[in-house]
Amino acid sequence: ANTARFDYIIVGGGTCGLVLANRLSEDSGVTVAVIEAGDSVFNNANVKNTTTYGLSLGTSIDWQYSSAPQVYGNNRTLGYNQGKALGGTSVINGMTFVRPESAQIDLWEQLGNKGWNWSSLFENSKVAEHFVPPPSSQTALGAAYNPSYHGKEGHVGVGWTSAFIDTNAYQTFNTTWRNLAVPYNQDPNGGKLRGFSVWPYTQKDDIRQDSARSYYWPIAAARSNLQVFVNTTATRILWQKDATTGLEVADSVESVGANGTKLTISASREVIISAGSIRSPLLLEQSGVGNAQILKKFSIPSVIDLPSVGENLQDQPNNGVLAISNHTWVGSPPYVTFLTAQDLFGTNASTVEAQVRKNIPSYAALIAQKSNGAFQASVQERLLTTQADLIFKDAISLVEIYHSPFSGIVNFPFWNLLPFARGSIHVNSQDPTAHPLINPNYFEFDFDLQVQVMAARTGRKALNTSPLSSVVKSEISPGTYTVSKDASDQVWGDWVKRTYTSNLHPVGTCAMLPRDIGGVVDAELKVYGTKNVRVVDASVLPFQVCGHLTSTLYGVAEKAAKIIKQT
Ligand code: FDA
C-alpha cells in the first residue's frame, strides 16, 4: 500500500470539494489532497455541451444509483443520478443558477447555526459568481437581471447561452402567467422567487462552467501544494482518541484505486468530507460514525454513536405536463415560474394551512418512529412547524414549474419544492465501495401529494390560458384520456404516483443543526464528537431549499473555506 501525508484531505472532488481545494491551496504553506472516485472530464463533449440536458445521465460519470422501493409512492424503485467525476454533480446537472428564498436561509441561524443567515450566504454565493450580463440581443428575448444580485469577480461563469433564441417564447409565457395573476419577477437571484422569470445558467461562451472548469483547471491545477487523486474511492477514516478532550481525531483516510490498489493518506490538520448527500453519510458510517445499531449489522465497530447520520433526507418528486404545440420552439429557453401556497390554493389556502398544522404532530410522530432513534417527535414537531411557517406565513415558493419547450412540444416539468417527507441513506453492505440504501420516502404525507397535484392542475391550466393556449394543440401528459378535465384529486394523485421521478436534489443527511435537535455537524461544519472532521456539501443543508442547489452550495463552500482558514 502507498502512503502520503497532507495538511488537509478533501474526500470528493465535486461541486463543493473543488471550491475548498482551490481556497485552501491558495496558501502555499499548506498541502492539500483531493480524493475523487471519478475521473477528469475536462474534454468530455457531453459535459461541455450547454444546449442538451441529460447527455451524461446513465454514462460512466454517473453513479447510477437507484432508490429503495417507495412504500408511499406505488412501491416504485427510481433511478437516482449523481455525478462521479472531477467536478461531481456539477458536470452532469442542468446548469440552472437560481438562489433560494431568503427566509429559509435565515431559519438556519434561528435554529442555532450562528452566522448562517441569508445575508452571509448571499455574499458568499456572489463571491463564487462571475456574472456575464446579457447583450442587447438577449435582453430583447427576456434575459433580465438586477446588478446588485450578482457577483462579478468569482470563478463560476453565470449567464445565458447563445442558443437562447426563441423570439416567441418569452412574451407567450410571461403573458400567460400574468393572465393567471402570477407576476413577472425580473431577477429571482436575490432571495425572492415568486413569479415568472428568465434565469441564467452556470455557463460561459457556450461551455458548461462546472466546479472543475471554474475552480480547479484555470487556477488550482498548477499548484504544487495541491494533489488530486482521481479514480480513487475513500473507504474509511482511521481515528485516534484525543486523551484530553475525548474527541476523535481523524488520523488518515484509506482509499482504493480503480485497479484495486490501496492507498492510505494521513492528515496533519483536517479531513473534509465533500462526497455529496449520498456518500458523505455513507463514509461516516463506514468509519464508525453513525447509529451503532445500524453499523453492527455490517460488523462496523462504533466509534461515535451519532444516530442522526444519514437521517433527515429531503428530496422532491418530479412530474411533467406536456402538450403538442403548433409552434416550433427553438433553442434552450430558460423560463421558470415559482408559485406560493396562495397561488396554488387561492381562497382555500387558509383551510389547507389549518389542516397541515393539525397534521404536523402525526407527521412528527411517524418521522421520529422511523428514525432509528435519531429524532424525538417533539423536536420534529417544532422543525416541521418552522416549515409550515415558511410556506404559509412567509409565503415562500412551494412549487416550481419549469418551462422546457422543445421543437413541437411544450413541456412543464414541475415539483413540490418543500415536501414534509423525511427519508434516509444508510450503509447497505460490507463492501466499502457498494451503494448505500437510498430512501427518500416520496409522498409519505398527504400534503406532499396534494401540492404535487395542485402543481399539475396549475400546469394544465396554463396550457389552456391565452396566449399559450393558442399555440397548444393537445395535451399528451397526462392527457385528458388519462386524467379527464373534471378529474378528482384522487385520479390526479394516482397519475402523479405512477409517473413521478426523483428531482435529484437530496439534502440534509449530515444536517448542520445543534446536536440535540438532530444535527450531524455544528455551525463550523464539524462532525459532533470529532476534533478535525468537517462535512461541506449538500448533505449539511438542514432543510430543502427552493432555488436549485449549486448557487447555495458554492456559497456554503466559500464560507466553509473562510471558517477553516480562520481556525
Ligand atoms: P457532488 O456530487 O458535486 O460531489 C461529490 C463528489 O464526491 C463526486 O465527485 C463523487 O464522485 C465524489 N465521491 C463520493 N464518494 C466518494 C468517495 N468515497 N471517495 C472519493 N470520492 C467520492 N443544481 C442546480 O443548481 N442547477 C441544476 O440545473 C441542477 N440540475 C441537476 C440535475 C441532475 C441530474 C442532478 C443529479 C442534480 C442537479 N442539481 C442542479 C443539483 C446539484 O448539481 C447538486 O446538488 C450539487 O452539484 C451537489 O454538490 P455536492 O458538492 O454536494 O456533491
> 347: helix, coil or strand?
helix
Give CA–CA dist 151/160, Å, rounded. Answer: 15
Pocket test for ligand 1, best of 10, 11, 15 (most atoms within 8 A of CB): 15
Asked whether the beta carbons of 342 and 195 are under 8 A apart, the reply is no
CA distances from 135 to 102, 139, 142, 174 (A): 29, 6, 11, 20
pLDDT at 2: 61
Closest C-alpha residue for ligand 1 atom 14: 275
pLDDT at 3: 67
Number of Cα atoms under 13 Å in the Cβ half of residue 365:
5
Closest C-alpha residue for ligand 1 atom 39: 93
Peptide bond into 467 cis (omega under 30): yes
Compute φ and ψ for 75, nearest 5 degrees: 60, 25
Asked whether the beta carbons of 153 and 178 are under 8 A apart, the reply is no
pLDDT at 132: 97
Give CA–CA dist 472/474, Å, rounded. Answer: 6
Catalytic positions, written as ranges: 505, 548
CA 319–ligand 1 middle distance (angstroms): 21
Helices 349-369 + 446-463 axis angle, to 10:
140
pLDDT tens sequence across 100-158: 999 999 999 999 999 999 999 999 999 999 999 999 989 988 999 999 999 999 999 99
CA 241–ligand 1 middle distance (angstroms): 32
Positions in the chain whose pLDDT score sits under 50: none
CA 93–ligand 1 middle distance (angstroms): 8
Helices 118-128 + 102-110 axis angle, to 10:
120
Q: Which residues line ligand 1 (CB under 6 A)?
A: 11-17, 35-38, 81-85, 88-90, 92-96, 233-234, 274-277, 279, 283, 504-505, 537-538, 548-551, 553
Give CA–CA dist 422/443, Å, rounded. Answer: 10
What number does the ligand 1 atom closest to the CA of 506 have? 45
pLDDT at 333: 75
Closest C-alpha residue for ligand 1 atom 28: 94
DSSP state, residue 114: T
CA 135–ligand 1 middle distance (angstroms): 31
Pocket test for ligand 1, best of 19, 53, 62, 89 (most atoms within 8 A of CB): 89
CA 553–ligand 1 middle distance (angstroms): 10
Q: What is the pTM of this model?
A: 0.98
Give CA–CA dist 203/265, Å, rounded. Answer: 35
Burial of 466 (0-12, 13-18, 19+ CB in 10 A): exposed
* Chain centre distance of CA 332: 22
CA 87–ligand 1 middle distance (angstroms): 8
Closest C-alpha residue for ligand 1 atom 32: 93
Instruction: Tell me which residue of 322, 446, 458, 313 sits closest to 397, measured CA to CA.
Output: 458
What number does the ligand 1 atom closest to the CA of 84 have? 11
What number does the ligand 1 atom closest to the CA of 16 have? 51
Give CA–CA dist 357/418, Å, rounded. Answer: 15
Closest C-alpha residue for ligand 1 atom 8: 88
DSSP per-residue codes, 404-437: --BEEEEEEEEEES-----BEEE---SSTTS--E
Pocket test for ligand 1, best of 51, 56, 93, 315 (most atoms within 8 A of CB): 93
CA 83–ligand 1 middle distance (angstroms): 5
Radius of gyration of the CA atoms of the chain, in A = 23
pLDDT at 359: 98
